[in-house]
A = this chain, B = another copy of it.
């Protein structure tokens, strides 16, 4: 019949004969997370457009069809990846315990965490760049993501208040602007490390360069937040 698929043949025997603990154990949860991990890597490496569904399935060790079974489409998978990486960074951030130390140290912690997180999670940067190229089309469909960011701004606002009250920080700083600036100083450096490194003739991902940058960023934020000298 023309419009129907032909039947298959072999392969199951071969699979059964493999070694030990059965490679694909019909564990739905494991398959799902393998796909998500593979997709994160692939999307981070090549962007949404450049990523290949074939490659994601291969990396995950599953059939392409299973990927569609679980996630529906390449784009839906991309959104799932975005939600996952956002949840991860915000989750780690939430454990910083900024409330229990003095404002200057708390701020230093936040700056350090942010910079180091970007260094250690380059996928975060490429994924967000890809999403921005697409004008946040996917993220806008997500309800989970916005909820993740309210607490972050709340904590920064509180930290600023404490610092002002203690005479450690200048007054009048918008917490959203500040957070964006803190992120900027690390994000842009890393996101654009290849072009900046090329035009300035430096390897910005070298260990010493990274450390120098981290200190510069710390000093930059600290310097800005210094209170105005009294009259």
A contact set with B: CB distance below 8 Å: 1-4, 45-52, 74-75, 86, 126, 128-137, 139-140, 145-146, 148-149, 153, 170, 174, 176-177, 180-181, 183-185, 187-189, 191-202, 212-213, 216-217, 219-220, 223-226, 229
Q: Would you call the interface of chain A mostly helix, strand, loop, or mixed?
A: helix
Contact assessment for A46 and B185 in the assembled complex, using a CB-CB cutoff below 8 Å: no
Contact assessment for B132 and A3 in the assembled complex, using a CB-CB cutoff below 8 Å: no
Cβ-neighbour of A193 out of B2, B132, B174, B189 (below 8 A): B132
Given pairs A146-B199, A188-B191, 15 additional interface contacts (CB within 8 A): A1-B49, A1-B137, A2-B45, A2-B49, A135-B194, A136-B194, A136-B195, A136-B198, A153-B200, A176-B202, A177-B216, A181-B185, A184-B185, A184-B187, A187-B188
